[in-house]
Structure formats: structure tokens, C-alpha cells
Amino acid sequence: MQRLSQNGAADATRGLAILGATGSVGTQTLDVVRLFPDRFDVQALTCDSNVELLADQVREFRPACVAVGAPERAEVLKRELSGAASEVDIRVGTEGLCAVASRSDVDVVMGAVVGFAGLRPVLEALRADKQVALANKETLVVGGALVTQALEEGGGQLLPVDSEHSAIFQCMAGEAERSVEDVVLTASGGPFWDRPAETFPDVTVKEALDHPNWSMGPKITIDSATMMNKGLEVIEAKWLFDLNVDQIEVLVHPQSIVHSMVSFADGAVKAQLGVPDMKVPIQYALSFPARWPAPHERLDWGALSRLDFERPDPQKFPCLRLAYEALQAGGTAPAVLNAANEVAVERFLNEEIGFTDIPRAVETALERLPVHSDPGLEVLVDADREARHLVKELALPTPN
Ligand code: NAD
Ligand code: MG
């Protein structure tokens, strides 16, 4: 963010790489590209396992390079692509993601991988002076200090894609650097905002995946139900906007119309509003500082009867408290929080543990694992590995 220029080159045709092209953010990024085909040369696309969809995307966008999660998937992709698009360069794993992110024909990298896997390629992209549109919040949660360092040392730029952070970024445009007093991140509250906490142990995977306002990938949807998503976003905001913990407040706003707000030193408050549609912040990260005319759904002010705001209950949603505590502890604590949460969410989705075991697992990992201050990448990777191992092995009550 520090290196953000008000004179971006968003009007020229630019080489685009999408990390996580087959996911919710990745496919919506391609929807934006379809709206503005002259603005982008899609040079690289990646996915973990959905090679059938990736093959369709390759046939449509003709990238020079792709990356997939494992060698056997590269073989499947080769078979899928036999014929016209068979000359595409196929890379594998983290090395593949890093190669894609730093290609010379790529100007802009959309970071839309889910989880810790996004950190290394984002660092590579910034070190190669790319403009990075970042959806992958876990990258900043785990490696915010390293990302900040890469921005300070190189010619890379970072633009937020997460809707709340895009809102804050839009509110801050044109404002003097030290004029921000605090920010409010709005949260939908997820599907269980009104549900009595006593029934949380009975929450099923299907119920937790049923988000009221946003259609997203499974991991972030579960994070929204536990409110860990908002906790991760608090840490994300700290790094993007250079804020202290006590400058970041969370308010539940069930309508998801106000995407976030910023209070300034003179008492003025700016908010950014709109229909909940990720294509809007995705497009802004790609068009900044321009705004390209687009047919995204408009707010119908007359149909908006009310906008509600409420403080979240930290007893009911312990993940939010845990994220604030990890941010305050600093060092490797947010990496432990993130890794423990990634594994706990996966175990919940596999129906191995219950919904309330997610915060239990994260809290256990934070209690048991030491905090190392000022970690480099290798120390973060170790902390991530230890927390994953701990939560994978943790005996927790299974759901009914
Ligand atoms: P998703 O699960 O729909 O897609 C994830 C993408 O990353 C897929 O292409 C998948 O193949 C790839 N991927 C998954 N694991 C990988 C790995 N280990 N290595 C390489 N590639 C891998 O996820 P999503 O909902 O699109 O979210 C992506 C990121 O954006 C997350 O960090 C999420 O928190 C953030 N985000 C998403 C939304 C949204 O509306 N979906 C909104 C704000 C922020
Ligand atoms: Mg968000």
C-alpha cells in the first residue's frame, strides 16, 4: 500500500496472471476480464485440482503458462488440452505458482489462492515489481511484515480485493496519510448471527456453508460462520493500512451494503456502499485509479428500508477474540492462528469435528505453541507446519 501510486497504468493492455483462477474470486476475475477484453492479456492461470475447469479457461483465454497443484494433475491437464492449446507451459506446485507470479510478460497478479499457499508467490510477485491485487488475506495474516518489507524494498504495489479493505482504500483516496482516526470493518455476521449459541455444537456443514449474502469458496464461507473471517480481516487491515489494533473496530451489519468505513481526525466519517458483489472490488483493484463503466448491479435506495449495525458478541464468536489476541501477541502467533484454523476448517468440512471445535482447536494451538518474534519466512513456515500437525492430531469430540 505504501508504494501505491495515484498514476497507475490501468488504461493500457496489461499482462495478467491469476493465482487460483478456478475459485470464486478467480472465476469472477475472469468475468471482469470478459467485460474488458482489450485491457488484459491473460498470460498465466493456476489451480490446485480443478483441472477440467482450468482446461476450459485455457481454451478460452490462451495463456502462455499454467500451474497446477501436483504432477499427476499436470498429466490430466495435458490430456485435456491435447490439440490446439497443447503448447501451454505447465508448471507444478509452489515453484509453479512462484514462476507464474514473476513472469516477465505479467504486469498484474491476482492473488486468489486460498490459505497460506499464497504467501510465497505473492512475495515473489512483489520482489519482481508486479502490481498485486490481493484477495488472499491469509498471506497478510501470516506474512504481513514480510509483504510490507518487500513493498518497501522493491517496485511492487499492493491493491486490496477483499471488499472491506477495498472500501477502506476507496475512503482513504485523496486523504492525508495521518488523518485517519480509526476504521470500522463491517461483517455480515454470517448465517448464525441470530442463532442461540447453545445450539452451535449442532451446526451442520450444510448450515455453515449457507451464507446469507455472499457466494464464496468453502473455506472463507466457514470462516464467515465462525467470524474468523473478520478476525483475519482485522489483521489484514493492520498491515494494509498501517493501523494499530485499537484503531480497528468490527461491527455486524447484516445487510452487507456498507462495506466498511473510515473516521478522520476532524470527526468526519466516509463509508463505501454497494450491492454485495465481489466483481466490484475485483474490478477496482484492476482498474485503479480509474473506474471503468460496468453493468454490475446498482443499489436500489428506495428498496433499502434500513441499515443495522451491532457490536459482535465475543463470547458467541471466540474466533474474533482469538484473532485480536494473536495480532497483539505478534511474531508467529497469527501464523499459528491461521494454520490451526485452516486445518480445523478442513476437519469440520470433512465432518471429523464439530463447529465449536474450530475455535477450541485454534485456542489450543495458540496456547501450546511458542511465539517467535520477528520471524523470517522459514520460521513462519515452521510455525505453520507445527500448528497444522498439532490440529491434525488433536483429539476433539466428533459431531453428533
Ligand atoms: P476458492 O476455494 O473458491 O478458490 C481457491 C483457488 O485457489 C482455487 O483456484 C484453487 O484451485 C486454488 N488453491 C486452493 N488451494 C491451493 C493450494 N494449496 N495451492 C495452490 N492453489 C490452491 O476460494 P475463494 O473463495 O476464491 O477465496 C480465495 C481467497 O480470496 C481466500 O484467501 C479468501 O479468503 C479471499 N476472499 C474471497 C472472497 C470471495 O468472495 N470468495 C472475498 C474476499 C476474500
Ligand atoms: Mg471480506
Ligand 1, atom nearest to 218 Cα: 2
Q: Give the separation between CA 330 and CA 188, rounded to whole angstroms.
A: 27
C-alpha cell at 349: 468440512
**CA–CA dist 124, 271 (Å, integer):** 33
Nearest alpha carbon, ligand 1 atom 12:
20
Pocket test for ligand 1, best of 32, 97, 113, 227 (most atoms within 8 A of CB): 113
Ramachandran angles phi, psi of 250, nearest 5°: -115, 130
Atom number in ligand 1 closest to CA 219: 2
> In this structure, how many other beta carbons lie within 10 angstroms of the beta carbon of residue 320?
24
Closest ligand, as measured to the CA of 237: 2
Question: Which residues lie near ion ligand 2 (Cβ < 5 Å)?
Answer: 162-164
Q: Whose CA is nearest to atom 16 of ligand 1?
A: 48
Task: Work out the end-to-end distance of the chain between its first and last CA atoms, rounded to an integer number of angstroms.
Answer: 46
- In order, the DSSP letters of 112-154 are ---SGGGHHHHHHHHHTT-EEEE--HHHHHHHHHHHHHHHHHS
Query: For residue 160, how far is its CA from the centre of ligand 1 (angstroms)?
Result: 15
Say what the pLDDT of residue 4 is. 44
Pocket probe for ligand 1: among 19, 22, 24, the residue whose CB has the most ligand atoms within 8 Å is 24
What residues contact 368, with CB distance under 8 A and at least 6 apart? 390
CA of 162 to the centre of ligand 2 (A): 5
Residue 212 has a pLDDT of 84
| pLDDT value of position 88 | 96
* 3-class SS of residue 317: coil
Q: What pLDDT score was predicted for residue 11?
A: 67
Q: Which ligand is located closest to the Cα atom of residue 26?
A: 1
**Which residue, judged by its Cα, is nearest atom 2 of ligand 1?**
217
- State which amino acid sits at residue 208: A
- Which residues form the pocket of ligand 1, taking CB atoms under 6 Å from any ligand atom? 20-26, 47-50, 69, 112-115, 117, 135-138, 162, 214, 216-217, 219-220, 278
**What's the grid cell of residue 194?**
441470530
| Atom number of ligand 1 nearest to Cα 47 | 11
Ligand nearest to the CA of 256: 2
Looking at residue 10, its pLDDT comes to 56
pTM, rounded to two decimals: 0.96
Local confidence pLDDT in tens for the 400 residues of the chain: 434 444 455 568 999 999 999 999 999 999 999 999 999 999 999 999 999 999 999 999 999 999 999 999 999 999 999 876 678 999 999 999 999 999 999 999 999 999 999 999 999 999 999 999 999 999 999 999 999 999 999 899 999 999 999 999 999 999 998 899 999 999 999 999 999 999 999 999 999 999 888 889 999 999 999 999 999 999 999 999 999 999 999 999 999 999 999 999 999 999 999 999 999 999 999 999 999 999 999 999 999 989 999 999 999 999 999 999 999 999 999 999 999 999 999 999 999 999 999 999 999 999 999 999 999 999 999 999 999 999 999 998 644 4
Distance from the alpha carbon of residue 187 to the mean position of ligand 1, in angstroms: 19
Measured by CA distance, the residue closest to atom 5 of ligand 1 is 23
In this structure, the dihedral spanned by the alpha carbons of residues 329, 345, 110 and 39, taken in order and rounded to 10 degrees, is: -140
Q: What's the 107 CA to ligand 1 centre distance in angstroms?
A: 21
